[in-house]
Structure 1
Amino acid sequence: MISIVICSADQADLSSVSENIRRTVGIPHEIIAIDNRTARRGICDVYNEGAKRARFDLVCFMHEDIEIRTADWGNVVAGIFGRDPEIGVVGVAGGGYKSLSPSGWYQLEFHSEERSYQNVLQGYKYNEKEEIHAYHNPRNEALSRVVCVDGLWICTRREIALRFPFDGQVLTGFHGYDLDFCLSVFPHYKIMVTYDVLMKHDSEGNFNKQWLDNILKLHRKWSYALPLTTSVMRGNEMYDIEKRSFKILIEQMIRWKYSYLQIQTMLWHSAKTKQMRRKVIFKAFLHLLKLRLHILPIPDGQRI
């Protein structure tokens, strides 16, 4: 049995996904749809309310712009949790490396198979692109262990959702909640991506300045524990990832007109890390300084 929690902003989408769930879930279930059209509460507060209202031992937090294509997916989820009590979170997309450099779960600058594991039919709302089947299962596994999963569909045990509530104090909007939840759970339970549940997601997400503002808040909270990985990193691999990621992030922050002080503050918070040498932060500061002193060209001619 499973409780399905939805933060609803569109009545037509909710009606469609509710019917889709009833046709495909395959086990006794309840849909806890919380109407957020008027109140516009942060998704953390909505999901925490849903977890408290849930009657069943398994809880699925999912977006309403989803169409699940797998029949009896509820049995798939129940089987995963039933076979291994150490599993705490299951998703359909996630990353095996969470960087110290502020980012989402998908680390584009991480040139390795660990950056993503997924099985999603990805639609596009903000870009004029054709739907793609985003499938990445580099080890041909039924389940892949990751650091964090995408928030479009997150399944967990109700006891875990109550023990590690979504942080509505730090994250008051609709971004970063999935990373924060997974980073809370990661030291205690396995976080997995399954390839046995396929769904279409109508939106690729809007990774804009508002999104980054929330990611920066998230990293102020978690930098001490980052980076995290589910694989063995060899030699200077982790250092090289972070050096490249900080450089790209700093240039993006300049393009989005963050001030020198805001970028510097991000780096100071990142220096809290206990997981790697702080030399990488020094290198990032040096890159920022070169941009500010015009030793290096500033992206798009911006000034800081």
Structure 2
Amino acid sequence: MLSIITCSIDQTKLSLLKKSLTETTSLLYELIVIDNSKNKYNISQAYNLGAAQSKYDFLCFVHEDIIFKNKDWDRNFIHHLSNKKISLIGILGNIIKTRTPSGVYSNIQYTNRINQIQKLKDGTTVSYYDNPNEEDISEVAVLDGMLLGTTKSHWEKISFDEKIDGFHAYDIDFSLAMAQLGKVGVVYDILLEHCSFGSQTKEWASNQIIVTNKWKKFLPIQKGEADTRTLKIREKDDLIQFTIRLLNLRYKRNVSFKYSILVILKYPFHRINLFIIKQLLIQSFK
């Protein structure tokens, strides 16, 4: 009934995922593992390859560094996707996607929707739960890729964009694409533990720019109770945070300069401008 697809580079992590599936599922499933130990595929290629091999109607794309925690989550998974109005589900999302390149999780906490356990570097865990309206499913603009669920018929209409290279921003792109077919939502009855942290590398920045430019005619997107004030707050925070990341990453000078000037012009009295000007000066002499 359920095809679970993962892109694997680590046998230890894969073994933990397999063990958690055995302990928590109650329905018939197949696990399709795309071996990427030789870095042959980007994640979109791996997921499309796995989906093409699948034999069941419900597709669950998961990172290999997760552990499922609640029994019968697979029944909940199928229940949500049996609703014809729903095209894509996940466990971490955001009700806003701004015009600025940005990830899913935001510093503006009340725009996040999430039910997840995060394993920390010291081995301890912390639980995140943001569901202010106590919904069964919260409609969001974008989802994080640690878990993405859809049907095979939806995937056959819109697959992962293999032009997005590497392993970043494919989830935002897929969310925005799947929203053309139905509702994209965060569900709260599938609990997993994420055993590593995402990285914000130069590839991350490049892919966020690519995806934002691809969908710029549709942005910004607001779902749920997001209002104009909340959107403005997010636009400001996303622009400042993305600019800081570009400067810290020593990203391409012309791109860093472009976003830096945008921050300075839009928010001339913001204290972050001192940091931005200092970094621009430092990098201009290197």
Query: TM-score w.r.t. structure 1 length?
Result: 0.83
2:93: which partner in 1? Answer: 94
2:168 touches 2:207 (CA, 8 Å); kept in 1?
Answer: yes
Displacement, 1:202?
0.1
CA 1:249 to 1:123, structure 2 compared with 1: closer, same or farther past 3 Å? same
Partner-residue secondary structure (3-state), 1:303: helix
Distance 2:227 2:114 in 1: 24
1:29: which partner in 2? Answer: 29
1:97 touches 1:107 (CA, 8 Å); kept in 2?
Answer: no
CA 1:206 to 1:112, structure 2 compared with 1: closer, same or farther past 3 Å? closer
Deviations for 1:71-126, whole angstroms, at most 9, x for unmatched residues?
A: 111111111122x2111111111111111111111122xx3522x1111110135x
Q: Which runs of 5+ in 2 are unaligned?
A: none
1:203: which partner in 2? Answer: 196
Instruction: Please say if 1:113 is aligned against 2:110.
Output: yes
Percent of pairs with identical residues: 28
1:8 touches 1:37 (CA, 8 Å); kept in 2?
Answer: yes
Instruction: Please say if 1:194 is aligned against 2:187.
Output: yes
1:98 touches 1:107 (CA, 8 Å); kept in 2?
Answer: no
CA 1:123 to 1:294, structure 2 compared with 1: closer, same or farther past 3 Å? closer
1:156: which partner in 2? Answer: 150
Distance 2:275 2:89 in 1: 47
RMSD: 2.8
**What letter corresponds to residue 60 of structure 2 in structure 1?**
C
CA 1:37 to 1:225, structure 2 compared with 1: closer, same or farther past 3 Å? same
Structure-to-structure mapping, 1:1-304, within 5 angstroms: 1-82=1-82, 84-108=83-107, 111=108, 113-114=110-111, 116-125=112-121, 128=122, 130-169=124-163, 171-263=164-256, 283-284=262-263, 286=265, 297-299=277-279, 302-304=282-284
CA 1:103 to 1:296, structure 2 compared with 1: closer, same or farther past 3 Å? closer
Displacement, 1:286?
2.7
Alignment length (residue pairs): 282
Deviations for 1:46-76, whole angstroms, at most 9, x for unmatched residues?
A: 1001111111110000011111111111111
**What letter corresponds to residue 3 of structure 2 in structure 1?**
S
**What letter corresponds to residue 194 of structure 2 in structure 1?**
H
Displacement, 1:214?
1.8
Q: Which runs of 5+ in 1 are unaligned?
A: 268-281
2:96 touches 2:226 (CA, 8 Å); kept in 1?
Answer: no
**What letter corresponds to residue 135 of structure 1 in structure 2?**
Y
